[in-house]
Structure 1
Amino acid sequence: MSIKKTTIQIIGSGILQDDVLMVGESLLRKWKISAGHPVQLAFGSFRQEVTVISVPRYSGLRVGSVLARKMGIHSNCKLRVTYSRGRRTLRVGPLISVLVSRDYPEQPDKPFGSITLFCHELVGECRRQGAYVYFFTPEHIGSQPGRVQGWVYDGSWKKTVMPAGDVVNNRLTSRKLENRTSVQHFMKEVKSQYGTTIFNEKFLDKNEVFDALKSNSSLRKYLPESHLLQTFDVFKKMCNQYPAVFLKPVRGSLGKGIMRINKQTDGTFSVLSTTAGAPQKKTYTNVDKLYKSLAGKMKTTRFQLQQGLTLIDHGKRPVDFRALVQKNATGTWTVTSIVARIAGGSHFVSNLARGGTLSTVKEALAKTTLPATIKSNGLLSLKTAALNIASAVEKAIPAHFAELGIDLAIDSTGRIWLLEVNSKPSKNDNTPLNDQKTRPSVKKMIDYCCYSAGFK
Structure 2
Amino acid sequence: MPSIGLMTLDEQSEYAFHLHIAKRAVENGLDVYRFLPEAIDERKKVITGWRFFKEEKTWLSDRFSYPNFIYDRCFYRNEDEQKQFESKVKSLQHNPNTLFLTYDLPDKWTFYEIMKHNELIKPYLPDTSYAKNAKQLLKEAKEKGKILLKPAFGFAGRGIFVIEHKKDEFVVKTVKGKNTLEKSSDGKNVGRWLQALIDKRSYIVQPFLNLSDDSNRPFDLRLLLQKDGQGNWNVRGKVLRFGKGKGIISNLHAGGEPVPYDKWRERFPASKIAFIENEIHELTSTIPPLLETIFRPLVELGIDLGIDQNGAVWLLEVSGKPGRNVYFKLDRNVYASLCEAPVQYVTDVLHTANGNKEGET
Same fold (TM over 0.5): yes
Is 1:101–2:12 an aligned residue pair?
no
Instruction: Give the equivalent residue in structure 2 for 1:125.
Output: 24
- Match for residue 413 of structure 1? 310
CA distance in 2, matches of 1:142, 1:405: 31
User: How many Å separate the matches in 2 of 1:234 and 1:392?
Assistant: 32
| 2:344 equivalent to 1:447 | yes
- The amino acid that maps onto 1:394 is E
In structure 2, distance between residues paired with 1:302 and 1:437? 37
Deviations 1:260-287 (A, max 9, x none): 12333x364322111225212223445x
Q: Distance in 2 between matches of 1:428 and 1:211?
A: 30
Identify the match of residue 287 of structure 2 among 382, 385, 389.
Answer: 389
- Distance (Å, rounded) in 2 between the aligned partners of 1:289 and 1:255: 25
Please list the CA deviations of residues 225-273 of structure 1 after superposition, one character each: whole Å capped at 9, or x if unmatched. Answer: 0111114665355324434210011112222211112333x36432211
* Equivalent pair of 1:246/1:261 in contact (CA under 8 Å): yes
Cα distance, 1:239–1:365 mapped onto 2, change above 3 Å: farther
Q: Which amino acid aligns with 1:403?
A: E
Residue number in structure 2 paired with 1:343: 243
Indicate the RMSD between aligned Cα atoms, in angstroms: 2.7
For 1:256, the aligned partner's letter is R
Separation of aligned partners in 1, 2:334 and 2:159: 35
Larger CA Rg, structure 1 vs 2: 1
Q: Residue in 1 aligned with 2:219?
A: 319
Shift of 1:119: 1.4
Are the aligned partners of 1:204 and 1:423 in contact in 2 as well (CA < 8 Å)? no
After superposition, where does 1:300-311 map in structure 2 within 5 Å?
A: 300-311=200-211
Could you say which structure has the higher helix fraction? 2
Measured against aligned partners, the alpha-carbon deviations of 1:278-323 in whole angstroms (never above 9, x if no partner) come to: 212223445x654333011111021110121112415111111111
TM superposition score normalised by structure 1: 0.69
Measured after TM superposition, the shift of residue 393 of structure 1 is: 3.0
| Whole-angstrom distance in 2 between the partners of 1:139 and 1:236 | 42
TM-score (norm 2): 0.85
How many angstroms apart in 2 are the aligned matches of 1:426 and 1:382? 19
Matching residue of 1:53 = none
Tell me the distance in 2 between the aligned counterparts of 1:437 and 1:151.
28
**1:378: Cα distance to partner?**
3.6
**Would the aligned equivalents of 1:339 and 1:432 in 2 still touch at CA under 8 Å?**
no
Contact 2:35–2:48 (CA under 8 A) maintained in structure 1: yes
Whole-Å separation in 2 of the counterparts to 1:366 and 1:238: 38
Q: Is the 8 A contact 2:133 2:195 kept in 1?
A: no
Q: Which stretches in structure 2 are left out of the alignment for 5+ residues?
A: 356-361
Are residue 136 (structure 1) and residue 35 (structure 2) matched?
yes
Q: Which amino acid aligns with 2:9?
A: S
Corresponding letter in the other structure for 1:184? E
Change over 3 Å in CA distance of 1:310–1:124 after alignment to 2: same
Asked if structure 1 preserves the Cα contact closer than 8 Å seen for 2:31 and 2:52, the reply is: no
* CA–CA distance in structure 1, aligned partners of residues 271 and 283 of structure 2: 17
Q: What residue in structure 1 maps to residue 170 of structure 2?
A: 269
User: Does the C-alpha gap of structure 1 residues 185 and 283 become closer, same or farther in structure 2, counting only changes over 3 Å?
Assistant: closer
1:224 paired residue number:
126
Residues 69-90 of structure 1, C-alpha deviation per residue, up to 9 Å, x if partnerless?
xxxxxxxxxxxxxxxxxxxxxx
1:357-436 equivalent positions in 2, closer than 5 A: 357-367=257-267, 371-376=269-274, 378-379=276-277, 381-396=279-294, 398-431=295-328, 433-436=330-333
Letter in 1 for 2:271: T
Q: AA paired with 1:152?
A: R
Give the secondary-structure state (helix, strand or coil) at the position aligned to 1:313. Answer: coil
Q: Which residue of 1 aligns with 2:359?
A: none
Q: CA 1:97–1:227 in structure 2 vs 1: closer, same or farther (change >3 Å)?
A: same
